Structure 1
């Protein structure tokens, strides 16, 4: 399988470095408008460097392309790749507007290629085990969930993140990880309510989700946090609670409701952190899905639904009202 990478910034470097070491995968090109970035990545991976997608399309052979450019460019290059008959692995969010996401999905279907979107949290062991704990009934029926994802402001080094029209802000770019995870774990969302405080140094959002199951989740995202990047998540059921905290070395814990038969109410699930990169697991899974024709753990429709949740939160922020799903596309085109 021959693969190329468009975008040689942080995530593009991650994708390319993984492909360069992946069995049965040949990295045949890396591309960035900033030629120095492309050349640097070419030296690391051994793949030829290109200055434009069109040049790489003309001169390099590839079956799949990883698109790791700024969010507002996802639609443009996904459509170009699909029309050229290339499978697409696109970083999240799938797009900034629902109509764009729909067009991307439709274009890939019409051209007989697959579209995958990098909601990588589904490949983090702690989050996978949280979902498994719930699915296996270890904490009973889910009642309340909390998720938090906070770190420094990426706009301090890459200005486009501070342009809402290009990034969608902290909700679309960062919180969308947890919105996707919670929908994957707890099911469909019926109502969204959001709060957001944003200035040049800070973009903070707090969103409440009501699920069709009756569960409720509070989701926090923060760009501008002065400390280290960190994530936390917990799901409380009627028989226990499962907790993950990235600041703990062995972070996933299940606390059971006390029972007479249990000597200890606290159970720790050991995890081997970082043994295999979640990005490596994700990309290998996507490549395998292409080779076998199997459905991916996260589909393009899942990415569409995650974007819908993010845009519903933004609509709630702007109107001050709870938003009921499905989201009207008339709002999404103006978000």
Structure 2
């Protein structure tokens, strides 16, 4: 079969570290165009892969007519670029958070449906080996019901990761809208929904800027979540874990405890009430320092090759986003917020 012609919109760090090399490694893909407001960034990759460089994604879409695009732009631009790509007949892989509000996310979902293209959101936590293994264990039923949980994602902040360092859009609220919660928190709301096969129905949260100077973007949040099943737990997102980075989840169940990402060697540990212990070495999580394959690109391409709707769909992305939006509302109102429609 002919290769899938892919264009990348936004050539910052997530494109550099994940999207572009993973597309390049996929035998089903031909990289045909790169777009970035900084022309030399797009040109660099165009030269590398024998593709075209653009600074305007609408021009790129109309000229190149790609089969699929990755949208790797600041949060506020996810919706307009994704909708433009769908309207141009391209399948869309958009970085998280898929949008900055529910209305934009719904418009993205509708645009994909109207144009008969797929919309996938880059929630890579579902695809990381420790989380896949943990889900397998939960699905056996041996742990019983999950009663409580904590899930956390923290690192020193985007300045060490973003191509623009401390001058990154991550710290400009008009472009980011949300800080650590949009960067990290939404990953964990997606993970806990998927792991537990359950929906968040209520959120209470403290969200604030504790230490990053010169920005209104949140750098820390601690949230209480109640799931539809009655399970309760905490979700933490932080840009100020200057030492002791964390991407771990612990589930306390009827029959024992499931620890994910708490040990560098044994990524999944099962502690049963009968005293038995299982340890699984299944491969590390991807981190900013250690770029293991995210799995997102291969998942997206497989969806296109097999004409199978993506598992991490726009609808899934919206449910995970709504948890984060509820957290901000809780912070603003000082109230517990119910998530509508769940």
TM over 0.5, shorter chain: yes
1:8 and 2:11 correspond: yes
Q: Distance in 1 between matches of 2:318 and 2:239?
A: 23
Secondary structure of 1:42's match? Answer: helix
User: Over aligned residue pairs, what C-alpha RMSD do you find?
Assistant: 2.1
Q: Secondary structure at the match of 2:335?
A: coil
Structure 1, residues 208-227: CA drift from partner, whole Å, max 9, x if none?
11111111111111112212
Query: How many angstroms does 1:36 deviate by?
Result: 1.8
Which residue number in structure 2 is paired with residue 185 of structure 1? 195
In the alignment, which of 152, 170, 192 is matched to residue 161 of structure 1?
170
Offset, 1:250: 2.7
Give the drift of 1:228.
Answer: 5.5
Q: Residues 190 and 324 of structure 1 are in contact (CA less than 8 Å); yes or no, is this contact kept in structure 2?
A: yes
Mapped contact 2:128–2:285 kept (Cα < 8 A): no
The 3-state SS of whatever aligns with 1:157 is helix
Q: Distance in 2 between matches of 1:319 and 1:165?
A: 21
Contact 2:267 2:283 in 1 (8 A): no
Residue of structure 2 equivalent to 1:130: 134
Alpha-carbon shift at residue 35 of structure 1 (Å): 1.2
CA distance in 2: counterparts of 1:158 and 1:149, whole angstroms = 23
| 1:232 equivalent in alignment to 2:248 | yes
Provide the rounded CA distance (Å) in 1 between the counterparts of 2:92 and 2:336: 35
The number of residue pairs the alignment matches comes to 322
1:302–1:114 distance in 2 versus 1, CA, 3 Å: same
1:108 Cα deviation (Å)? 1.2
| Aligned match for 1:250, one of 252, 260, 266 | 266
Which residue, out of 101, 106, 113, partners 2:105? 101
- Tell me which of 151, 154, 176 is aligned to 2:186: 176
Structure 2: distance between partners of 1:117 and 1:318: 27
Map 1:199-278; keep pairs closer than 5 Å.
Answer: 199=210, 201=212, 203-227=219-243, 229-245=245-261, 248-258=264-274, 265-273=276-284, 277-278=292-293
Report what 1:331 is aligned to. none
Residues 119 and 310 in structure 2, CA contact (< 8 A), matched pair in contact too: no
* 1:175–1:219 contact (8 Å) kept in structure 2: yes
Secondary structure of the equivalent of 2:45? helix
Native 8 Å contact 1:16 1:30 kept in 2: no
CA distance in 1, matches of 2:285, 2:315: 29
- The match for 2:53 is 49
Residues 121 and 317, structure 2, Cα contact 8 Å, conserved in 1: yes
- Over 3 Å counting, the alpha-carbon distance change for 1:30 and 1:303 in structure 2 is same
Structure 2: gaps (5+ residues): 160-164, 213-217
Q: Give the superposition deviation at 1:327.
A: 7.2
* Structure 1 unmatched ranges of 5 or more: 260-264, 329-335
